Amino acid sequence: MPDHLRIHRPHLSYHYNEGLIIEDMLYSRILAKYPAPVLVYSAGKLRDNLKSLKAAVKGVAGRIGSPSDFPPPKFKFAYCLKACYASEVLKTISKSGVHVEVMSQKEFRLARKAGWKPGQMIWNSPGKSAADLELIVKEGVGQVNVDCLSELEDLDRIAGRHKRKVKFGIRLHPNLKGRTSAFIDDRNRFGFDTRRGAALKLCEDLTRFRNLRLSGIHAHAFIRESNWRRFRPYVAFMFDFAAKLYAHTDIRLDYINLGGGIDSRYRSRKADILLQTFIHVIRLKYAGLPYQPTVFLELGRYITADTGFGLARIVRIKKGKEAKWVILDMASNILIPLNSADFGVIPAQYKRGRALRYHVGDNLSSYAGVITRDCVLKGVAEGDCVLIENCGAYTQSMASQFGHEIPPVLVADKGNLKVCR
């Protein structure tokens, strides 16, 4: 097996003559049935990622020592649905018992179809319409995190009409000095402003919403984060907010939802250690709270990113003076060129030859069609097949009509292939 494949990839192996094996299936067998380009999910890897969530919580409990010093936090994981909509992937995740985070009516329907009950759902979005709120109340969505005052007023009115006392959470816009991401920039698109105690004041004055009860706080602050030190001030911010709220109002929250944003397990177990460390950081802050809320994490990339692979063919190789390019038939209409994308390219067949450094692009005329840069490939030629790793999140769910048809999406499970919708 080539060195670059020895690293943590239990679902992949390499036969010296026959090439890559995904979940006990030769890549050529998959392509004989579904010609490239295709997106293939590994069900085994998905189950392994889901198992690692529970293991991360257990691992931390073992490391910290006396449970009486640190009451074990009540942890619940949710899958952030927007990461991947493929039907068979969703069914496997819903069966595992994790909750699900949705942002729209479309996602609500997808989640229902995959087997999640409304009570297992979390609904977050920066602007829920009155129709969204109506559905949330009528169906009994388990957790709704309100983003602004008018949304709160609408929710109260709708709850009153349904003669229900509705529990809700508020999404906070964390005020973390020196920290920016698309989710905590200075423009405040997500959640209530927390500067100068604004969100706290709002929580202290909720009596006018007679049909509502504050039951949680939520925020989402990271994208592909791989450094636990950046979580610490964020976790402190959320728990300090809950502690102040308790001190000022006696409100005991049912939950603190910390969102997602952890990097995928691609290439190494670094993400597992990060998840354990994050949970450790939470546990320490949790011990300082005088009551025990449930802590939610909503993970998308961590659960699905490294379970999906592209199988593509090399259309052309261009050896220019400045750079060498490999051009693939799998394009940026599904390999979405987000800043956070991290696609890796591996030849599907072992070949002798010189290892050369290539950039890899698609065959569409768009400046966005770069799949990865500075990739070392050995002996590749036009017509060869390559495997593109880490394609499982924010690809299938964001695929577009641009340039090509969307490739078939398959799930490989113990030697069987299923087509996803």
Ligand X SMILES: Cc1ncc(COP(=O)(O)O)c(C=O)c1O
Q: List residues binding ligand X (CB under 6 A).
A: 80, 83, 101, 124, 220, 223, 259-262, 298-302, 393
For residues 122 and 331, which CB has a smaller minimum distance to ligand X in the complex? 122
Strands (E), 183-272: 192-193, 212-218, 255-257
Residue 221: closest CA among 135, 124, 131, 139: 124
For residues 176 and 364, which CB has a smaller minimum distance to ligand X in the complex? 176
Give the nearest distance from C-beta 309 to ligand X in angstroms.
18
Q: What 8-state DSSP symbol labels residue 139? A: H
Give the nearest distance from C-beta 299 to ligand X in angstroms.
5
Give the nearest distance from C-beta 340 to ligand X in angstroms.
7
Give the nearest distance from C-beta 42 to ligand X in angstroms.
18
For residues 83 and 203, which CB has a smaller minimum distance to ligand X in the complex? 83
Q: Which helix (H) or strand (E) holds 27?
A: helix 27-33
Give the nearest distance from C-beta 93 to ligand X in angstroms.
13
Chain residue at closest Cβ approach to ligand X: 300
Distance CA 308, CA 409 (A): 9
For residues 88 and 101, which CB has a smaller minimum distance to ligand X in the complex? 101
* Whether 21 contacts 14, CB under 8 Å: yes
For 30-59, the DSSP string reads: HHHHSPSSEEEEEHHHHHHHHHHHHHHHHH
Distance CA 200, CA 204 (A): 6
Residue 87: closest CA among 338, 342, 337, 408: 408
Give the nearest distance from C-beta 210 to ligand X in angstroms.
28
Instruction: Compute how many other C-beta atoms are within 10 angstroms of the C-beta atom of residue 316.
Output: 13
φ, ψ (nearest 5 deg) of residue 116: -75, 140
For residues 349 and 390, which CB has a smaller minimum distance to ligand X in the complex? 390
Give the nearest distance from C-beta 88 to ligand X in angstroms.
19
For residues 88 and 225, which CB has a smaller minimum distance to ligand X in the complex? 225
End-to-end CA distance of the chain: 34
Give the nearest distance from C-beta 298 to ligand X in angstroms.
4
Q: Quick one: 184 exposed, middle or buried, by C-beta within 10 A (0-12, 13-18, 19+)?
A: buried
Distance CA 74, CA 11 (A): 31
For residues 27 and 266, which CB has a smaller minimum distance to ligand X in the complex? 266
For residues 260 and 293, which CB has a smaller minimum distance to ligand X in the complex? 260
Residue 49: closest CA among 268, 303, 269: 303
- Tokens encoding 155: 């929710």
